[in-house]
Structure formats: C-alpha cells, structure tokens
C-alpha cells in the first residue's frame, strides 16, 4: 500500500498539469462569467432578475438541461484528459530519457502499470465527481437565488451524467491505453490512422460486394454522443420527466458486454507489450 501511494504521488507530481485541465477550464469559465457580470453591472447597472415560476412552460426542462449540459461538458473534458494521460503516463518517461530510472525501482511492473491505470481512470473519475458536484451546487444556488431551486431536478441530471462518464471510460479508454503501450510516439494519431484505414476497408467491402462489417469508429461515435439521445427525448417536452439513458442506449447491452470482454484482453495485452518494450 505504501508503494502504491508513493507511485501515485509520483504520477501526480509528474502529470498534475494535464490532470487539472478540467479544473482550470471550469475556473476560467466561472471567472469570465464573473468578469462579464461585473462589467455589465458597472456599465448598465444590476440586472432585474425575474423570479422563475414552475408553472411557466418548459422551465423545468430548461433547468434540467442547464445542469445536464454542464455535467456532460465536464464528462467530455474528463474523457479527453484520460486519453491524454494514457499517453503521458506510459510514454513521458521515454520522451524525457528517464524511463530506465523509473522502471529500475524495486517495485513490480504490474504495480507500476496498475498505479498509472488508476491515475488515468479512477483519479480522473474522482476529479470529475468533485467538479460536477461543485458545479451542481453553484447552478442550484444561483437558480434558488432568482426564485426557483433546482437541486432536485439537477440531481437527476447529475446521476445520468455520472453513469455516462463511468460507462464511456470503461468502454473507450482501454483501446487508447493499448495504443499508448504499443506506440511511444503520437499513439493518438496512430489510433486515428487505424480508424481511417479500418473504415476505408469497410467502405470498400460494402461498395464492392455489399458486405456489411462492424464499425469500431461507429461504436465510439455512439458512446460519445449518447447524451444527445437524452436531449432529443426531452427537446419537445414542456414538463420535466426524468429520463434514464441507461435503459435505452445507442449501444446495445450485448455490444457493451462484448466490448467489455475485448477491453479486458486489451488491458492484458498492454501489460505484456509494455513489459517487452526496449527500455531507454
């Protein structure tokens, strides 16, 4: 446990700038909002807030959408952070020519990679939870101040966004982790190149012989853009109806289970590939 804590601190000190990107983006967002509000108040006077009334058409949907949109934005930002950290954690030592030093520590490679994986996935997920909770309280407090508390409505949006973030991380990050363990330089570019080649072959098979084959990139699109399914379902509603996208998703349950099994294989393969890389 002490070794794990030490390795985790090492990852934090080395990669905290990348890790804290979602926090900085949120702070900049609220900072600019405060500046804009202060400027408007000085220049034009304090705004006349109109109290919100729950009987107004669509007000519940509007408040739910505000909570949900903010949480999903943070989820996408956290996913991008995890993707960046997968490359940084596995390959930064090589790029800085200190790989042999860190791998020569009296710690098993399994524990080293396990710590990196925990930092990329679990630590980022915890950061995401903290940020959406803070954001939820801020939005709820502001809506309460202008006449309508949205804590109950926002909580439903918060839960949906959390489930989405958890599912997307489990389904998508292992493939990025695999490419980062295989390629020391620009693994994200090579992943995109893999998508492009694979989809080109799919298109050729379809145009030439009418063969329909599975689209990996299509699966990624369906996972990433799952939140739009929820938005579509409530876009025409004027009264708030709680929607749980986990009960009806763009990806089927069987497809998710197959990818879960594939991801276990990818993570296992990543360990052996990383273990056999030439140390420099």
Q: What is the structure's pLDDT at 7?
A: 87
Q: Which helix (H) or strand (E) holds 211?
A: none
For residues 241-260, average pLDDT: 65
Q: Which helix (H) or strand (E) holds 198?
A: helix 187-209
- The verdict on residue 269 lying in a domain is yes
- The verdict on residue 256 lying in a domain is yes
- The verdict on residue 107 lying in a domain is yes
Distance, in Å, from the CA atom of 9 to the CA atom of 39, rounded to the nearest integer, reads: 41
2-37 exposure pattern, b = at least 16 Cβ within 10 A, e = fewer: eeeeebbebbeebbeebbebbbeebeeeeeeeeeee
For residues 17-21, average pLDDT: 94
User: What would the two tokens of residue 151 be?
Assistant: 């804590």
What range defines the domain where residue 136 resides? 2-275
- The verdict on residue 268 lying in a domain is yes
Q: How many structural domains does the chain have? A: 1
Tens digit of each residue's pLDDT (9 = 90 or more) over 195-231: 999 999 999 998 988 888 898 888 998 888 887 766 6
Q: What is the structure's pLDDT at 242?
A: 43
Longest dimension (CA), the chain: 68
SS (H, E, C) 4-72: HHHHHHHHHHHHHHHHCHHHHHHHHHHHHHHHHHHHHHHHHCCCCCCCCCCCCCCHHHHHHHHHHHHHH
Between 62-66, 79-83, 233-237, the lowest mean confidence (pLDDT) is in: 233-237
User: What would the two tokens of residue 150 be?
Assistant: 């949205």
- The verdict on residue 280 lying in a domain is no
SS3 279: coil
- The verdict on residue 85 lying in a domain is yes
Residue 123 is classified by DSSP as: I
Distance, in Å, from the CA atom of 171 to the CA atom of 68, rounded to the nearest integer, reads: 21
- The verdict on residue 241 lying in a domain is yes
Distances (CA, A) of 146 to 38, 47, 62, 139, 142: 17, 11, 14, 11, 7
Distance, in Å, from the CA atom of 230 to the CA atom of 232, rounded to the nearest integer, reads: 5
- The verdict on residue 190 lying in a domain is yes
Residue 57 has pLDDT above 80, yes or no: no
């Amino acid at each position: 446990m002490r070794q794990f804590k030490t390795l985790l601190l090492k990852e934090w000190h080395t990669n905290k700038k990348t890790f804290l990107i979602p926090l900085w983006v949120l702070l900049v967002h609220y900072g600019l909002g405060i500046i804009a509000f202060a400027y408007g108040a000085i220049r034009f006077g304090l705004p006349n807030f109109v109290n919100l009334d729950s009987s107004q058409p669509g007000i519940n949907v509007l408040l739910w959408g505000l909570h949900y949109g903010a949480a999903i934005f943070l989820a996408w930002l956290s996913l991008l952070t995890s993707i960046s950290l997968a490359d940084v954690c596995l390959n930064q030592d090589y790029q800085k020519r200190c790989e042999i030093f860190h791998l020569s520590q009296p710690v098993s490679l399994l524990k080293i990679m396990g710590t990196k994986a925990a930092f990329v996935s679990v630590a980022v997920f915890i950061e995401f939870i903290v940020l959406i909770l803070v954001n939820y309280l801020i939005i709820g407090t502001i809506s309460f101040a202008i006449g309508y508390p949205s804590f109950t409505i926002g909580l439903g949006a918060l839960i949906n966004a959390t489930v989405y973030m958890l599912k997307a991380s489990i389904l998508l990050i292992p493939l990025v982790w695999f490419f980062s363990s295989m390629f020391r330089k620009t693994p994200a570019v090579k992943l995109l190149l893999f998508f492009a080649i694979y989809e080109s072959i799919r298109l050729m098979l379809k145009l030439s012989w009418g063969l329909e084959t599975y689209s990996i990139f299509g699966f990624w699109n369906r996972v990433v853009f799952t939140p739009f399914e929820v938005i579509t379902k409530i876009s025409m509603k004027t009264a708030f109806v709680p929607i749980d996208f986990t009960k009806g998703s763009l990806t089927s349950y069987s497809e998710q289970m197959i990818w879960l099994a594939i991801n276990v294989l990818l993570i296992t393969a990543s360990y052996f590939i990383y273990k056999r890389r030439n140390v420099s």
